[in-house]
């Protein structure tokens, strides 16, 4: 391998290693404006979302799609679509949300 190839491999590996943590992504996409981990705001508390979907083997896929496509509930508020969120970022955030437990 030449030096250019090694540099390219190193830069790709560094990019993969620097994936943003889920809480950083939740801040970046401004999710915490309407949600919080343990308290109800305009949207439900993430811990309540986790409780609702616990045991559902499709929860990650369902909720990641909801993040990207939006949702309309029975109340006056709805979650707007967020197509700017990549599928990978949505799944990272959702896995964090589903890991939450009530205090």
Q: Of the ranges 5-9, 53-57, 65-69, which one carries the lowest mean pLDDT score?
A: 5-9
Query: Looking at the domain 21-99, which fold is it?
Result: Cytochrome Bc1 Complex; Chain D, domain 2 (1.10.760)
CA distances from 87 to 3, 65, 67, 82, 91 (A): 34, 8, 9, 10, 6
Answer whether residue 10 shows pLDDT above 70: no
Delimit the domains of the chain by residue range. 21-99
Q: Across-strand partners of 69?
A: none
Reported pTM: 0.80
Answer whether residue 9 shows pLDDT above 70: no
Mean pLDDT computed over 45-68: 97
């Amino acid at each position: 391998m030449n030096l250019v190839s090694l540099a390219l491999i190193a830069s790709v590996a560094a990019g993969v290693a620097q994936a943003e943590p889920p809480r950083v992504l939740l801040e970046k996409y401004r999710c915490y404006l309407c949600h919080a981990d343990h308290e109800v705001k305009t949207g439900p508390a993430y811990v309540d979302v986790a409780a609702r979907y616990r045991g559902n083997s499709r929860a990650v896929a369902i909720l990641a799609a909801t993040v990207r496509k939006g949702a309309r509930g029975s109340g006056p508020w709805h979650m707007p679509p967020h197509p700017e969120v990549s599928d990978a970022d949505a799944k990272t955030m959702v896995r964090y949300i589903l890991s939450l437990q009530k205090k």
